[in-house]
């Protein structure tokens, strides 16, 4: 099989791995003339699959042969798909060629499991090692690791890769047992724990010039919608992983129905907006001080698909608003819909020097329509503008309306009816 055919098969097979960010790693480049590549410059080439996933052009599987039979996976042993396998040298050559053409920012390499987890891991590591040692490649490398592989092999992977990851796949051990009986929840969790220890140890020993270990940390991926697991289950697992193993990212991947699927799987994909809402909620957990139980709980275990989770929380907690933009603590400002972390920091700095007015928000390009009902300033009180009523949700997410061909569409209803 020629290389371009292999590339077509194995790049396509890798598109279900939703992790192509290279943030958070150490800054390296080769502008000093030594080596090749950079983790900081441009040259990132992403493409979007028709179902909205962001895929890096050189996101590859080493092979899509696999001895496992995870029911949700298109590459499972019993799947009837064309198979291919790269050699280590082929992946190295492709990476260098693509990098030189500025198509990619680095390599994301995963693999189906061939022969044994150990053997597979050795092959994946060989690619990264060759890139680093023989080609002095300084670009970003993300390696998928296999939890059943030995501790030494996982340590070796972290030595050459910027980021390592182990897919937890499903939010609960019951789900995993049902859909991927050859995988083991506690083995995955244990391997993540060991990676975390290695990362911590490498940071502690950095001053002694010890070799780095996965400086961009570890990440994982969960499939959404393949089982009845709720958003509460998913976010609870994500929250636990962030706390216990200090993961850099949890990626959420909406389940895509696959050909010849098992009867255990749903026939239709979940709405992509569910994946989007989970990412938004995940952001709130990591950067905005929210706890999982504030966003979803046993009584309402699903995120509101109609509005983003921060707005949904604010609408449920109207009694906490409006907050005084000039006096509220930073933690409360972070909970105002429409204010991001950077904007909150700018506002906290600015209000030291002068009282903030609503016009200042407009000047900072903050959406008054979104923020107006939730803040007060010296010249703005949402009560005066009727923005404190109970119908805010309808204003932010009006029910869809089928327009007639012959009537003008109604102008967008403005939440803010007063003068600015
Ligand atoms: S081990 Fe990975 S590649 Fe193999 S069937 Fe399971 S999910 Fe697919």
Is the CB of residue 68 below 6 angstroms from any atom belonging to ligand 1? yes
SS3 content of the chain, % helix, strand, coil (to 5): 40, 10, 50
How many angstroms is it from 177 CA to the middle of ligand 1? 14
Residues 278 and 344 in one domain: no
End-to-end CA distance of the chain: 66
Nearest CA to ligand 1 atom 6: 70
Verify whether ligand 1 is closer than 6 Å to residue 73 (CB atom).
yes
Question: How many other β-carbons are positioned within 10 Å of the β-carbon of residue 390?
Answer: 8
Rounded mean pLDDT, 164-193: 92
Q: Is 75 in the pocket of ligand 1 (CB under 6 A)?
A: yes
Q: What is the pLDDT of residue 3?
A: 87
Question: 112 C-alpha to center of ligand 1: Å?
Answer: 6
Q: What is the CA radius of gyration of the chain?
A: 24
- Going from the Cα of 407 to the center of ligand 1, the distance in angstroms, rounded, reads 53
Contact between residue 112 and residue 60 where contact means Cβ atoms under 8 Å apart = no
CA of 10 to the centre of ligand 1 (A): 13
Exposure string (b/e) for 207-226, b if CB count within 10 Å is 16 or more?
A: eeeeebbbbbbbbbbbbbbb
CATH code of residue 180: 3.20.20.70
- The chain-wide mean pLDDT, for the chain, equals 84
315 and 241, same structural domain? no
Contact 130, 88 (CB under 8 A): yes
Go through 21-40 and write b for each residue having 16 or more CB atoms within 10 A of its CB, e for each that does not.
bbeebeeeeeeeeebebbbe
Q: What is the pTM of this model?
A: 0.83
Assign 380 to helix, strand or coil.
strand
Tell me, using a 6 A CB cutoff, whether residue 76 lines ligand 1: yes
Q: How far is the CA of 209 from the centre of ligand 1 (A)?
A: 37
Residue 218: pLDDT band (50, 70, 90) is very high
Q: Are 156 and 248 in the same domain?
A: yes
Q: From CA 180, how far away is CA 173, in angstroms rounded? A: 10
Domain count, the chain: 2
Q: Which residue has the higher pLDDT, 23 or 65?
A: 65
Q: Answer yes or no: do 225 and 142 share one domain.
A: yes
Q: How many angstroms is it from 66 CA to the middle of ligand 1? A: 6
- Cα 64 to averaged position of ligand 1 atoms, centre (Å): 8
Task: Identify which of 14, 69, 72, 73 to mutate to test ligand 1's pocket (most ligand atoms within 8 A of the CB).
Answer: 73
pLDDT tier, 398 (very low <50, low <70, confident <90, very high otherwise): low
- The parent domain of residue 320 ranges over 309-396
- Among protein residues, the one with the nearest Cα to ligand 1's atom 1 is 68
Q: Which atom of ligand 1 is nearest to the CA of 66?
A: 4
Do 234 and 377 reside in the same domain of the chain? no
Mutate to test the pocket of ligand 1, among 16, 65, 79, 112 (most ligand atoms within 8 A of CB): 112
Q: Look at 44-53, 212-221, 228-237, 318-327 and tell me which has the smallest mean pLDDT.
A: 44-53
Q: Are residues 15 and 124 in the same domain?
A: yes
How many C-alpha atoms does 237 have within 13 Å on its Cβ side?
26
Q: Whose CA is nearest to atom 5 of ligand 1?
A: 76
The pLDDT score that the predictor gives to residue 25 is 53
Residue 412 included in any domain: no
State how far the Cα of 152 lies from the Cα of 136, in Å rounded to an integer: 23
114 & 257 share domain: yes
Mean pLDDT value across residues 185-214: 88
* CB-count exposure of residue 186 (10 Å: 0-12, 13-18, 19+): exposed
Structural contact between residues 395 and 374, judged by C-beta atoms closer than 8 angstroms? no
Are 248 and 313 found together in one domain? Answer: no
The predicted-structure confidence for 101-110, as pLDDT tens digits, reads as follows: 877 878 899 9
On whether both 168 and 206 belong to a single domain, the answer is: yes
- Going from the Cα of 113 to the center of ligand 1, the distance in angstroms, rounded, reads 7
110 and 17 in a single domain? The answer is yes
Q: Which helix (H) or strand (E) holds 221?
A: strand 218-224
In angstroms, how far apart are the furthest CA atoms of the chain? 74
Residue 84 has pLDDT above 90, yes or no: yes
* Confidence (pLDDT) at 173: 92
Instruction: Say how many Å lie between the CA of residue 168 and the centre of ligand 1.
Output: 12
Instruction: For residue range 119-161, list pLDDT tens digits in order.
Output: 999 999 999 999 999 999 988 889 999 999 999 999 999 999 9
Which residue's C-alpha comes closest to atom 2 of ligand 1? 112
Percentage of the chain beyond pLDDT 70 is 83
CA-nearest of 316, 317, 307, 359 to 338 is 307
Query: Does 192 reside within a domain?
Result: yes
Q: Is residue 199 part of a domain?
A: yes
For residues 205 and 334, membership in a common domain is answered with: no
Q: Is the CB of 66 under 6 A from ligand 1?
A: yes
Q: Exposed, middle or buried, 317 (CB in 10 Å: 0-12/13-18/19+)?
A: exposed
Any domain includes 113:
yes
* pLDDT tens digits along 227-283: 999 999 999 999 999 999 999 999 998 888 877 778 888 888 888 899 999 999 999
Least confident of 173-177, 238-242, 353-357, 391-395: 391-395
């Amino acid at each position: 099989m020629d290389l371009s055919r292999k590339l077509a098969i194995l790049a396509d097979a890798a598109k279900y791995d939703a992790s192509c960010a290279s943030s958070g790693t150490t800054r390296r480049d080769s502008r000093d003339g030594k080596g090749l590549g950079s983790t900081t410059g441009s040259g990132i080439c992403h493409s979007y699959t028709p179902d909205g996933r962001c895929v890096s052009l050189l996101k590859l599987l080493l092979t899509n042969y696999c001895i496992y039979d995870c029911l949700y996976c298109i590459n499972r042993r019993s799947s009837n798909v064309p198979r291919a396998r790269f050699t280590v040298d082929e992946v190295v050559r492709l990476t260098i060629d693509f990098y030189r053409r500025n198509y990619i920012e680095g390599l994301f390499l995963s693999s189906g499991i061939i022969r044994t987890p150990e053997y597979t891991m050795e092959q994946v590591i060989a690619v990264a090692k060759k890139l680093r040692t023989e080609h002095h490649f300084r670009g970003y490398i993300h390696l998928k690791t296999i939890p059943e592989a030995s501790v030494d092999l996982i340590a070796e992977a972290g030595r050459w890769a910027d980021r390592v990851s182990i897919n937890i796949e499903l939010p609960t051990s019951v789900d995993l047992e049902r859909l991927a009986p050859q995988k083991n929840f506690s083995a995955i969790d244990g391997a993540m724990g060991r990676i975390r220890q290695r990362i911590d140890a490498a940071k502690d020993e950095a001053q002694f010039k010890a070799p780095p270990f996965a400086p961009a940390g570890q990440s994982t991926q969960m499939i959404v919608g393949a089982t009845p697991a709720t958003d509460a289950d998913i976010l609870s697992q994500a929250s636990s992983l962030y706390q216990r193993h200090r993961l850099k990212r949890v990626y959420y991947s909406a389940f895509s129905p696959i050909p010849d699927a098992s009867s255990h799987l749903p026939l239709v994909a979940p709405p992509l907006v569910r994946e989007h809402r989970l990412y938004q909620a995940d952001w709130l957990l990591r950067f905005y001080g929210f706890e999982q139980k504030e966003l979803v709980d046993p009584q309402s275990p699903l995120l509101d698909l109609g509005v983003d989770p921060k707005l949904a929380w604010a609408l449920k907690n109207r009694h906490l608003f409006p907050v005084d933009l000039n006096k509220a603590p930073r933690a409360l400002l972070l909970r105002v819909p429409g204010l991001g972390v950077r904007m909150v920091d700018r506002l906290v700095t600015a209000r030291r020097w002068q009282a903030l007015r609503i016009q200042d928000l407009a000047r900072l390009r903050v959406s008054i329509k979104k923020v107006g009902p939730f803040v007060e300033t010296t010249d703005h009180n949402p009560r005066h503008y009727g923005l404190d009523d109970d119908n805010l949700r309808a204003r932010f997410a009006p029910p869809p309306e089928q327009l007639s061909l012959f009537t003008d569409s109604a102008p967008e209803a403005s939440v803010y009816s007063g003068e600015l």
